Amino acid sequence: MLLGLLAAGSRHGYELKRAHDERLPRARPLAFGQVYSTLGRLQRDGLVAPSGQEREGGPERTAYALTADGRAALERWLAEVEPPMPYVASTLFAKVVVALLVADADRARDYLVAQRQAHTERLRELTAVKTAPSASLDDIVAADFAIAHLDADLRWLRTTLDRVADWHREVHS
């Protein structure tokens, strides 16, 4: 991701974090410590290099630019397809499994119902975000992504509610 941002032109660390957070408004904001430690690694591996020193209206800052290797690595990454769902990695899923292991079917059901409600509420919020007049395409595309996955969770929660009794029986056999 940082490589991608640097491809658009060299930047110093603080500004990279700024650019990241702007470009992906709904992603987890980067910590400064993380930006610099990642830049350090990228530099260690020859994918970025310092490209200048600047001092305007603030303290000294070091800009970084992509190296040819960095550009090649980025192109490679962009050319490859992400493996779709190689694993089910989800806290929600794990929690439901544990609930069935640890509690009775009714308790698990209660959890599923509460989670469903929270999802429905969040869906409402995100729909409001994307329909606001001030929504940028960045906001809309990200909201759509989130909405699609909330829907997926809700669908799964629904069918799982129907199966709780059977699943609970199987888990305890």
Partner DNA sequence: CAGCGACTATTCACCCGGTGAATAGTGGCG
Partner DNA sequence: CGCCACTATTCACCGGGTGAATAGTCGCTG
Q: How many residues bind its own copies (CB under 8 A)?
A: 69
Which residue among 5, 6, 12, 67 contacts DNA (CB under 7 A)? 12
The closest alpha carbon to 158, from 125, 106, 116, belongs to: 116
Q: Are 123 and 150 in contact (CB under 8 A)?
A: yes
- Three-state DSSP at 66 gives strand
Between CA 147 and CA 116 the distance in angstroms is: 14
x/- mask, its own copies, residues 24-63, rule CB under 8 A, reads x-xxx-----------------------------------
User: Within the chain, what is the greatest distance between any pair of CA atoms?
Assistant: 69
**Binding of its own copies at residue 131 (CB under 8 A)?**
no
7's contact among its own copies, DNA, none, with CB below 5 to 8 A by partner kind, is its own copies
59's contact among DNA, its own copies, none, with CB below 5 to 8 A by partner kind, is DNA
Type and span of the H or E element at 62? strand 61-66
Nearer to its own copies, 1 or 53 (CB): 1
